[in-house]
Amino acid sequence: MQISAVSKEINEWSGSVLIAGVLEGTIESQTNLFKTLIKDDFLSKRFNDEKFEGKKSQKFSIELIEGEIKKVIFVGLGKAETLQINDLRKAAAIGARQVSGYGRKLGIFFPWDAFEPSSAACAVGEAVRLSSIKDLRFKSESKKPTSLDEVELIGLDTNTTKSDIAEINPICDGVKFARELVSAPPNVLTPYQMAKEAEKLANDFDLDLKILDKKECEDQGMGAYLAVAKGSDLKPYFIHLKYSPKTVKNKVVLIGKGLTFDSGGYNLKVGASQIEKMKYDMGGSAAVLGTARVIAELKPSYTEVHFIVAACENMINGSALHPGDIIKASNGKTIEVNNTDAEGRLTLADALVYACKLKPDAIVDLATLTGACVIALGDEIAGLWTDNDQLSEQLTKAAGKAGEGIWRMPMQDSYKSGIKSSIADLQNTGPRPGGSITAALFLKEFVNSSIPWAHIDIAGTCWTEKDRDINPKGATGYGVRTLVNWIKELNLNAN
């Protein structure tokens, strides 16, 4: 999909389909604006018939018989005084879903003047591309949907937006890759296959790759990670990708939880736990690998980025982790396992210890970690835990720019008593109240206090059961754009 800005008036543009954003209270001016395409009286009548006032998310379309433009899709943006960039993003996604079958060239005409041009262009371009992605890999017969070849953002200056628009497709390719990883069934995306996907990334995009097998993980003392993996007949793979620019001024580590399937172990997921959806328990690793793809293509100049995934399954066999077992992580801390379904934090514990040995300037982990976070924040907002105010501000800003919901949560030290064990250093779960906080406090035990660290719980945001803005039903690819924005900003500050 070629996305570009065109410095044209609306009456100069030609293409197949046009999406027009309408501000509430501007129906009369919009009627005058489009009278070269649609008869004035006809458009006014249609606005009235459809009771279209330009309110947020309102939409209706008109098919044209004459001329090159076959369809005009009007989408409401709400009132001008409350207009936000997310409104443009949402309107673009709503309009893009009405385009199929009407040609291969789309024009978008929005009130761009309210925003910084590059930011608006990227938000809208990403929305169109991401809302149109369909994963048909596992259908035996499927008619390939007509794809858009060109998207033109009408009325935007080409020169000031060109470089930012050029990044839209690489970023969306990374999100698409993450979505496909999450959507893949667990008999396809095994720990071995995830390692192969990392190997392909390394080969295609010139990244350094190290994969530790079970023996090498044992040599590093990764007793927490390996304890989870031993319940599966499939071998674990500890994946470490690295992007290295010529000049390094920052070094960061991204860690993604990589449970390719989570049965819950002997604390088997039952009832409303949606065990059939537990292929998405590697949503954090998908975000990290998707980010690796983007960073490798964009090639930031000053930031070295490490991408780490401790991939395995959480299953039940004669060797599986028991409730009540005591295991030892690679930093020497012992853990009483009081719930085998709190396995993600065990794999992350050893990944965090490994990351600290790289001596980075910051570590960020993403994980579908707790149902408690979903209860607290729902399915549109991820939870953010960190003691570092600067890192919190950076990640919140990066998520805001991406239109990905995030909210800083408390690191309540007094709750640490909930994960104390009488016979080991820690237990892997605390009491039910504040469960997402005690999970973050557990992870904190495996991070050097001198290294800024943030934990992002994406249990609610990595999957959606409904079409939501730019995310069709299914895997969302949440986190890729937030992480990319964060790394790009670090790079600018290092310049």
Please give the positions annotated as active site.
269, 345
Q: How far is CA 443 from the centre of its chain?
A: 21
DSSP secondary structure string for all residues of 30-67: HHHHTTTTS-HHHHHHHHHHTT----TT-EEEEE-SSS
DSSP secondary structure string for all residues of 417-464: GGG--SSSSEES---STTHHHHHHHHHHTTS-TTS-EEEEE-TTTSEE
Asked whether 461 and 273 are in contact (CB, 8 A), the reply is no
181-193: buried (b, 16+ CB within 10 Å) or exposed (e) per residue? bbbbebeebbbeb
Closest CA to 309 of 405, 242, 398, 385: 242
Strand order, beta sheet including 334-336: 326-328, 334-336, 426-427
Give the orientation angle of helix 283-298 with respect to helix 480-494, to 10 degrees.
40
Asked whether 2 and 149 are in contact (CB, 8 A), the reply is yes
Asked whether 348 and 312 are in contact (CB, 8 A), the reply is no
Residue 492 vs residues 214, 359, 485: alpha-carbon distances, Å: 39, 21, 11
Q: What would you report as the CA-atom Rg of the chain, rounded to the nearest whole angstrom?
A: 24
* Number of neighbours of residue 374 by Cβ within 10 angstroms: 18
**What is the dihedral sign for C-alpha 403, 293, 259, 448?**
negative
User: What's the CA gap between 135 and 475, in Å, rounded?
Assistant: 10
Q: What is the DSSP letter of 468?
A: B
* Number of neighbours of residue 248 by Cβ within 10 angstroms: 12
Ranges assigned E (strand) in 296-391: 303-314, 326-328, 334-336, 362-367, 381-386
Asked whether 308 and 243 are in contact (CB, 8 A), the reply is no
